Structure 1
Amino acid sequence: MTQPSTRGRTRAIASNLIGTVLEWYDFYIYGTATSLAFGALFFPTASALAGTLAAFATYAIGFVLRPVAGVVLARWGDTIGRKNVMVICLILMGVATGCIGLLPTYAQVGALAPILLVLLRLLQSIGAGAEYGTAVTMSAEYATPRQRGLLSSIPAFGVSLGILLGTGVFAALSGLPREAFLAWGWRVPFLVGFALVVVGLYVRLRVDESPEFTELRRSGTVTRSPIRELLTTHRGRVGLAALARSTDAVGGQIFNVFAISYCTSELDMPAAPALTGVLIANLVGLAVIPLAGRGADRWGRRPVFLTGLLLVAALGFPFFWLLQTRNPVLVVLALVLTYGIGVKIALSVSGAYLAEMFDPRVRNSGVNLARSASDPLAGFTPLIATALLAAAGSYWAVGVFVVGTALASAAAVFASPETRSADPAPERGEMSAASESH
């Protein structure tokens, strides 16, 4: 297989980074707007709690569609190429995000407003369905074996950058009077999405197809039925991988989305401390992610992955204890420890872990299916956490949810094989036999 040039590898990694920045910028600003504005703007006839639940329900709807979109687009990634799918994803995400910023509100068009919001949310989710998983696949296939952990963490780095960008925009708008924010301020972050998609397309269209998919196409071994082939030979690994990455899915929503709502609605705090905490946690994550990726190259995927997951489990209740103090410094500390360190370690290592679990013929489908299987849980996490808080009357039920998820993920990683090796296809022979049977 021909190795890519340094320039080609750099261009591909930059493309993967930009795409995940846009994806997580999109989803973060939607989640933050849900916490701060959408209940009042799109569901004004409901009570405060009911409006928040309704707004979070529209947030969750997008994650329900992601598995379907992820499977369809990921299949194309294994049949027509990784690059083509990534271009499609970028266009869908960017256009949908920008259009949300142009939506009329309930006061202007009545019930049509939430309907349009849901439709654009669904379009946004279709684009995001295979973005991150395909970026991980491309990064792993452009990496050398000794750098696969590090380079496969680049999409996770993009997650932090996207959230930082979204947080920074909202932080800049947080000084607006409430009336001005609801009138026009909330639209600004979404309209920025139009600019991001233009930049992303400029970079992405100049990227060559991944070396491993190019080799598959050259040799005529591209599979026509990647999902069937995947589920025939790697069904167990799909399940383990999905459970293993569920903590970064749930943790991202608890610590980035629900925490803001909890601080503002339950603790009667201004939004600034929580937004600042998310900002600093993601800044810390920019250092943690490459260190964890490098550590996974040196010590293996499992020990580093488990370190992040067990840290999240250990901090599940202390996180809420720190929030309960209402001390801005301790709120920031809580978010840095749980999300900036614990979740980011797990997210960083999951890139190489997922890619190395599957043969190149079905890798894009495997990575995306594993991620998509736990996406509905992620999407409903703010809704679940809000409902648990209301039912229990205290944070302890949400703490149990966080700790239980982290321990389940740790069990899955413990049960999985160590995937670090020079060959990222641990079951190549098995997969080849399966392909011959089709």
Structure 2
Amino acid sequence: MTSSTSSPARRPVRGRTRAIASNLIGTVLEWYDFYIYGTATSLAFGSLFFPSSNALAGTLAAFATYAIGFALRPVAGVVLARWGDTIGRKNVMVICLVLMGLATGCIGLLPTYSRVGALAPILLVLLRLLQSIGAGAEYGTAITMSAEYSTERRRGLLASTPAFGVSLGIMLGTGVFTALSGLPKQAFLAWGWRIPFLVGFVLVLVGLYIRLRVDESPEFTRLKKAGTVTRSPIRELLKSHRKHTVLAALARSTDAVGGQILNVFVISYCTSKLGMPAVTALTGVTVAHLVGLVVIPLAGRAADRWGRRPAFLTGLLFVAAFGFPFFWLLQTRNPALVVSAVVLFGVGVEIALSVSGAYLAEMFDPRVRNSGVSLARSASDPLAGFTPLIATALLALTGSYWGVGVFIVATALVSATAVFASPETGDRTPVATGAGRSGKSAGALP
């Protein structure tokens, strides 16, 4: 085995800072896009694009379009992530950013059902799919770039940067909707809901300015110079990393499900089921992600110090333990307790999300890393997308939160089992080390 031709310790700090900033802005846009879509689904899309005499039917139809975007993510993730392993991480990140930003902005320009009939939901679904194609590989590539630009001792911290971007993006989206929640309902449905989507045009311009100035990942550059870039990363991934792909996908399913419960379903639950004003749930989500800005880097640092598995399991087991107390607090309808419930649930989800960055990156060899990380994440994205729909259906079927609580706890326990069955990746150095004659990283998991 040979050592890397470009040690992480020698990489220019300026280039690393620029790369981290690029990754951050991309995940901010990704999750701003998806959060405002989910929030608009809870508050407006049911009546604007899927009018029905039954309010529940309209909400379910709107959530179905939300889920469609996640269902497409595995396909889009595989195609674009494959390019990340063949033509470069940077190129894929630029493509993702443009697709997400343009689709989001155009949603804000759509006519509603009352103006163009069935064409309105059709256009909404098409833009949702375009948005999802870009998002399919964005987060996984951001993790890959962050990990490959990091030093060994700070990989847990720096690889948590995309998770930090998730909280920033959701806070931005929540903040915009919170500001708009003071509008009269008629004004909000007439034009207010469009504003968050039109902001997407601005975010994509800012993101492109930063992203086009970033150098290619040092690890991919090294592979390219050595002539060891694979032309069939998916085939190689499924041949030599199948077990790790399955374990990684199961491990991150809790942040997929928990994130949708936290960011989307809780708003619908508090407003539709509990009859509370939307501002209470929106405030809870905003505060949860504000706390997340502290929790995420601390969790990443803890993963550097004590290992990925202990830190990861802490977040997952917390989610499992808090699954039912979360709903007990919501049931009180006390604004302070509702906000506290959302914040505490968010802590567990954000710990898991933070640690998963380094965990996923270290599970895969550099030759197939982008494909592996993206496939592991996107494999559970359909479950994430259907989570609001599943939770709403369980609520309607049982008439109680118990079905949703069981769903949350079961998912967290499955993830914890997968992490427990996985090797500790923190004591290995697959990102920093070089490739031998086989092209496999010296520290890659066997």
Instruction: Report the TM-score, using the length of structure 1 for normalisation.
Output: 0.97
Give matches, 1:136-215, under 5 Å: 136-215=143-222
Runs of 4+ in 1 over 4 A off after TM superposition: 425-431
SS at match of 1:91: helix
Task: Tell me the residue number matched to 1:20.
Answer: 27
1:249-277 deviations in whole A, cap 9, x for unaligned? 00010111000000000011110110000
The reply to whether residue 97 of structure 1 matches residue 67 of structure 2 is no
Q: CA deviation at 1:433?
A: 7.3
Contact 1:56 1:383 in 2 (8 A): yes
Asked whether the 8 Å contact 1:39–1:54 carries over to 2, the reply is yes
Indicate whether 1:323 and 2:333 are aligned.
no
State the distance in 1 between where 2:46 and 2:419 align: 38
Matched, 1:366 2:357: no
User: Is 1:334 matched with 2:334?
Assistant: no
- 1:44-88 deviation line (CA, Å, top 9, x unaligned): 134100000000000000001000000000000000000000000
Question: Any idea what the Cα deviations from partners look like across 1:361-386, whole Å, max 9, x if unmatched?
Answer: 00000000000100000000000000
1:4, CA displacement in angstroms?
Answer: 2.3
- Can you list the C-alpha shifts for 1:141-199, whole angstroms capped at 9, x where unaligned? 00010010000000000000000000000000000000000000000000000000000
> Which residue matches 1:242?
249
For residue 269 of structure 1, what is the aligned residue in structure 2? Answer: 276
Q: Which among 223, 226, 231 is matched to residue 224 of structure 1?
A: 231
CA contact (8 A) 1:233 1:431 kept: no
Work out the CA distance in 2 between the residues paired with 1:25 and 1:76: 25
Verify the 8 A CA contact 1:146 1:422 in the aligned structure 2.
no
Q: Which residue of 1 aligns with 2:408?
A: 402
CA contact (8 A) 2:90 2:216 kept: yes
Map of 2:95 onto structure 1? 88
Letter in 2 for 1:301: R
Give ranges in structure 2 of 5+ residues lacking alignment.
442-446
> Following the alignment from structure 2 to structure 1, what is the Cα–Cα distance between the partners of residues 435 and 319?
34
Query: Do residues 253 (structure 1) and 282 (structure 2) align?
Result: no
The yes-or-no answer on 1:306 pairing with 2:333 is no
The answer for unaligned runs of 5 or more in structure 1 is: none
Distance 2:408 2:270 in 1: 17
Q: CA RMSD in A?
A: 1.4
Structure 1 residue 352 and structure 2 residue 353: aligned? Answer: no
The answer to whether the Cα contact below 8 Å between 1:134 and 1:368 also exists between their aligned partners in 2 is yes
Separation in 1 of the partners of 2:152 and 2:430? 8
Q: Does 1:387 align with 2:393?
A: yes
Query: Structure 1 stretch 421-430 or stretch 31-40: which is displaced more?
Result: 421-430
Which residue in 2 is equivalent to 1:112?
119
**Which amino acid letter does the alignment assign opposite residue 164 of structure 1?**
M
Aligned counterparts of 2:73 and 2:85: Cα–Cα separation in 1: 18
2:444 corresponding residue in structure 1: none
Q: Distance in 2 between matches of 1:87 and 1:177?
A: 38
In the alignment, is residue 79 of structure 1 matched against residue 86 of structure 2?
yes
In structure 2, C-alpha distance between the alignment counterparts of 1:346 and 1:156, rounded to whole Å: 10
Q: 1:424 and 2:426 equivalent?
A: no
Match for residue 286 of structure 1 among 290, 293, 302 = 293
Identity of aligned residues (%): 81
Check 1:219–1:309 CA distance in 2 against 1; reply closer, same or farther (3 A cut): same
* TM-score, L = length of structure 2: 0.95
- Report the counterpart of residue 304 of structure 2 in structure 1: 297
Query: Could you tell me which amino acid in structure 1 is paired with residue 292 of structure 2?
Result: G
